[in-house]
């Protein structure tokens, strides 16, 4: 019973399905970090996205507009954060902590003021399931990788494109230069402020979409207070111990998706790990991975530091 192909395939499918919010948020964070911004506010950005998506869904009855609204809420919130970090050079860690407290309160307040608790979501199938013809018949992995939300396919595509963009394009070079040595980039005529602002805005867009996916695709259009439950912080860690590589970020996201999936399906496959330990496991894994990779330096050199012209 435990290891028959059908259960494995279902479990894998759920893991992949639940990996998308983490994947999207991490990809957004990747760009920020490459530009030298350690964006702890990711957790709050996801929360705003999750709320914004449900608001959009309730207003329009269209899940696609819901997701779009989530992404835009993430973008809007990130713009405020970026204003403080990129333009005013606020301490990135300090502002991130304040922003996350604010986000938790603001989304909870907005939920009580603006959302209808007895709202019946329409069919969310349009955004939650698309079978890729032929491929989805594959045994075991077909269901997992080719019968997913279009958003997931988009996220995988984004991971590939981001990897190529950062490595091979001029824009990627500029972003990395700003993260590696903002002073040199500035001297070469690149506006550090604009690049960091843009990177953080992109992070907001991705995190918002990730949050929206969490509410609309993964929880049937319901927003619950603090529903990201640390996923944003986890995504920050994922980016770092994946060593800023999109492929590893994808792999780590799916691995953490497994922990999420086991929480729901563990009982079904006769696994008797208490749910809190499953909830804990991604954080333990992240910690262990983080400690194991301890030494070595491939990351952006000036991550976390504000750029001040004329100072080293």
Partner 1 sequence: MTETRTRWRDRAGSAAQKLSQGYALVVIIAFAASLAVGLLILAALGVSPWRALGVMIGGAFGSRMAIGDTLVFMTPRLMTALAALIAIRCGFYNLGAEGQLQLGAVGAVLPATMLPHSLGLLLLPISLISGAIFGALWGLIPAVLKLWRGANEIIVTLMMNFIGIYFVKYLVEGPLQPAGSNFNMSAKVATGAMLPLILPGTRLHLGAVIAVVVAALLWVLLYHSTFGIRLRAAGLSPRAARLQGMPLSRLILSSMLISGAIAGLGGAIEVLGVQYRLIEGFSADFGFDGLAVALLGGLEPLGAVIVALYFGAINSGTIALQSVLSIPSAMAMIMSGLPILFLASIQGYRLVKGRR
- Under the binding rule (CB under 8 A), the answer on residue 266 touching partner 1 is no
- Under the binding rule (CB under 8 A), the answer on residue 180 touching partner 1 is no
- Contact stretch for partner 1 (CB under 8 A) within 21-29, 115-123, 254-262, 294-302: 294-302
Least distance (Å) from partner 1 to the CB of residue 183?
A: 14
Per-position x/- string for 220-239, each x denoting binding to partner 1 as judged by CB under 8 A, each - no binding:
-----x---xx--xx-xx--
- Under the binding rule (CB under 8 A), the answer on residue 295 touching partner 1 is yes
Site for partner 1 in 134-153 (CB under 8 A): none
- Under the binding rule (CB under 8 A), the answer on residue 117 touching partner 1 is no
Is residue 149 a contact partner of residue 20, using CB atoms and an 8 Å limit? yes
Q: What is the DSSP string of 33-44?
A: HHTT---TTHHH
What is the distance between the alpha carbons of residues 286 and 218, in angstroms, rounded to a whole number? Answer: 23
Tokens describing residue 29? 């964070």
- Under the binding rule (CB under 8 A), the answer on residue 102 touching partner 1 is yes
Cα dihedral 112, 117, 119, 125 sign: positive
- Contact stretch for partner 1 (CB under 8 A) within 62-70, 135-143, 203-211, 298-306: 298-306
What is the distance between the alpha carbons of residues 94 and 207, in angstroms, rounded to a whole number? Answer: 20
Nearest partner of 108 among 223, 232, 229, judged by Cα:
223
Nearer CB in complex with partner 1: 56/96: 96
- Under the binding rule (CB under 8 A), the answer on residue 255 touching partner 1 is no
Extended strands (E) in 102-245? 130-131, 147-148
Tokens describing residue 101? 């407290």
- Contact stretch for partner 1 (CB under 8 A) within 11-19, 85-93, 128-136, 209-217: 85-93
Nearer CB in complex with partner 1: 26/148: 26
- Under the binding rule (CB under 8 A), the answer on residue 79 touching partner 1 is no
- Under the binding rule (CB under 8 A), the answer on residue 184 touching partner 1 is no
> Which stretches of the chain bind partner 1, using CB under 8 A?
38, 40, 83-85, 88-91, 93-95, 97-106, 108-109, 112-113, 225, 229-230, 233-234, 236-237, 240, 274-277, 279-280, 283-284, 286-287, 290-291, 294-297, 299, 301, 304-306, 308
């Amino acid at each position: 019973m435990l290891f028959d192909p059908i259960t494995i395939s279902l479990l894998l499918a759920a893991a992949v399905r639940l990996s998308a919010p983490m994947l999207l948020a991490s990809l957004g964070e990747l760009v920020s970090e490459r530009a030298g911004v350690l964006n702890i506010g990711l957790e709050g950005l996801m929360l705003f996205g999750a709320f914004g998506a449900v608001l959009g869904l309730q207003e329009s009855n269209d899940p696609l507009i819901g997701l779009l609204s989530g992404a835009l809420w993430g973008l809007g919130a990130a713009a405020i954060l970026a204003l403080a970090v990129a333009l005013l050079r606020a301490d990135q860690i300090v502002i991130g902590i304040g922003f996350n407290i604010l986000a938790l309160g603001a989304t909870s307040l907005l939920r009580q003021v603006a959302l209808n608790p007895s709202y019946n979501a329409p069919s969310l199938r349009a955004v939650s399931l698309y079978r890729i013809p032929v491929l989805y018949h594959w045994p075991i992995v077909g269901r997992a990788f080719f019968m997913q939300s279009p958003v997931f396919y988009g996220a995988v595509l984004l991971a590939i494109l981001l990897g190529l963009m950062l490595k091979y394009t001029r824009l990627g070079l500029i972003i990395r230069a700003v993260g590696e040595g903002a002073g040199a980039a500035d001297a070469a005529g690149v506006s550090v402020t604009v690049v960091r602002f843009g990177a953080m805005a992109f992070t907001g867009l991705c995190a918002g979409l990730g949050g929206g996916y969490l509410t609309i695709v993964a929880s049937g259009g319901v927003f619950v207070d603090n529903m990201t439950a640390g996923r944003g912080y986890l995504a920050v860690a994922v980016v770092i111990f994946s060593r800023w590589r999109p492929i590893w970020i994808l792999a780590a996201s799916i691995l953490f998706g497994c922990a999420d999936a086991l929480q729901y399906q563990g009982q079904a496959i006769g696994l008797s790990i208490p749910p809190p330990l499953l909830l804990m496991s991604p954080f333990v894994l992240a910690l262990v991975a983080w400690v194991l990779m301890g030494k070595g330096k491939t990351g952006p050199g000036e991550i976390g530091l504000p750029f001040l012209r004329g100072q080293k």
